[in-house]
Amino acid sequence: MPRLAYVNGQYLPHDHAAVSIEDRGYQFADGIYEVVAVIAGEIVDMAPHMTRLQNSLGSLGITLPMSAKSLQLVMRQLVRRNRLTYGILYMQISRGVAPRDHAYDENLRPTIVMTCRSIPVSKFIIIARDGVTVRTFSEERWARPDIKTVSLLPNVLAKQAARQAGDFEAWFVDAQGFVTEGASTNAWIVTTQGKLRTRALSKAILPGIVRGIMVEAAQDLGVALEEKAFTVAEAKAAREAFITSTGGVMPVVAVDGTPVGNGSPGETTLKLVAAYQEHLAKQTGDPEATLKVLTGL
């Protein structure tokens, strides 16, 4: 079965889907995006993703050209048509098409593009068991990374540099020496006192969907939480560390080549991994069977 994409009201073969060369998303990075997880054929955490989508659009003054309900129907239809079981749905909304000019017509019709991609569950199971490493880089992004725009060049360059160094993720560090977030993740540590710490929401970081879920999970598990920035030195000296994104909760076992804790996924992190897996499974038609898949049983 051919892979399908959605472009401005049409379901098209992925290889033939396209937008105008004068689309402002292409020429100016004038647009936003969302990435949602698909678990056992279900789009999970739809409500918070839609809230963040609307907030990002509002920040750029872009009006959604259909109702939120209609957009969700299209998302589910694309998942169904692609017969996607486990993976992601990517959605990008740009300001639209117009002759190239920095200023824009406020009446442009936005361009909507959606694609789906299958991702093996085993990929995330292995990450949860073994952990990943991160490398730190000076913060070079614009001042509003809380808006989920497609302007991601600093993120791309940092992530590539991290991968070339043999690491999985890049952590940005601000001028004061505090970790802001990862190139495509939120950053967390567990201090030597056993407190869970992540940077407080602000214009400096993206309001991650999984970040919010982990805040609630920590409260449910009785884990002390501090929404407070931490330095690179504090991360290296921490008991545990991890990152969160649509890809899930991933233990961090080393920062800039320095092992975190004993160099393996920690107890608190693994509890939060399990809590997230349960959270995902509950949103599917067969939670018990889905949980077995997610935990590798």
pLDDT in tens, 14-39: 999 999 999 999 999 999 999 999 99
Residues 43 and 64 in one domain: yes
Q: Which of 103, 119, 135 is the endpoint of a domain?
A: 119
Residues 96 and 135 in one domain: no
Tell how strand 31-39 and strand 10-13 pair up.
Answer: unpaired
User: What mean pLDDT is predicted for residues 275-285?
Assistant: 97
Measured between alpha carbons, how far is 235 from 62 in angstroms, rounded to an integer? 38
- What does the pLDDT look like over 34-45, one tens digit per residue? 999 999 999 999
- What does the pLDDT look like over 103-133, one tens digit per residue? 999 999 999 999 999 999 998 899 999 999 9
CB atoms closer than 10 angstroms to residue 1: 6
Q: In this model, does residue 210 exceed pLDDT 80?
A: yes
Residue 297 inside a domain? The answer is no
Residues 249 and 128 in one domain: yes
Residue 37, phi-psi category: left (phi > 0), alpha (psi -120 to 50), beta (remainder): beta
Q: Which of 91, 119, 147 is the endpoint of a domain?
A: 119
Residue 104, phi-psi category: left (phi > 0), alpha (psi -120 to 50), beta (remainder): beta
Which candidate in 69, 123, 148, 203 is catalytic? Answer: 148
Amino acid symbol at 111: T
Residues 22 and 69 in one domain: yes
Q: In this model, does residue 238 exceed pLDDT 90?
A: yes
Residues 28 and 84 in one domain: yes
Residues 114 and 257 in one domain: no
Measured between alpha carbons, how far is 269 from 217 in angstroms, rounded to an integer? 11
The number of folded domains in the chain is: 2
Q: How confident is the model at residue 2 (pLDDT cuts 50, 70, 90)?
A: confident
Report DSSP state, residue 186.
E
Q: pTM of the entire structure?
A: 0.96
Report DSSP state, residue 14.
G
Residues 41 and 153 in one domain: no
Residue 252 inside a domain? The answer is yes
Residues 78 and 180 in one domain: no
**Hey, which bits of the chain come out as E strands?**
4-7, 10-13, 31-39, 42-43, 87-94, 111-118, 132-138, 169-173, 179-182, 186-190, 196-198, 225-227, 240-245, 248-255, 258-259
pLDDT above 70: percentage of residues in the chain: 100
Start-to-end CA distance of the chain, whole Å, equals 29
- What does the pLDDT look like over 243-278, one tens digit per residue? 999 989 999 999 999 999 999 999 999 999 999 999
Q: What is the pLDDT of residue 108?
A: 97
User: What mean pLDDT is predicted for residues 173-195?
Assistant: 97
Question: What is the Cα 142 distance to its own chain's centre?
Answer: 18
Residue 295 inside a domain? The answer is no
Report DSSP state, residue 261.
T
Residue among 152, 204, 116, 140 at smallest CA distance from 25: 152
Measured between alpha carbons, how far is 11 from 115 in angstroms, rounded to an integer? 10
Domain interval for residue 58: 4-119
Q: In this model, does residue 1 exceed pLDDT 70?
A: no
Measured at the CA of 207, the angle between CA 203 and CA 208, to 5 degrees, comes to 145
Q: For the domain that residue 196 is a member of, what is the CATH number? A: 3.20.10.10
Confirm whether 148 is a catalytic residue: yes
Residue 195 inside a domain? The answer is yes
Q: Which of 77, 92, 119 is the endpoint of a domain?
A: 119
Measured between alpha carbons, how far is 274 from 39 in angstroms, rounded to an integer? 15
Residues 135 and 261 in one domain: yes
- What does the pLDDT look like over 55-97, one tens digit per residue? 999 999 999 989 999 999 999 999 999 999 999 999 999 999 9
Q: For the domain that residue 40 is a member of, what is the CATH number? A: 3.30.470.10
Residues 60 and 199 in one domain: no
Residues 159 and 263 in one domain: yes
Residues 113 and 155 in one domain: no
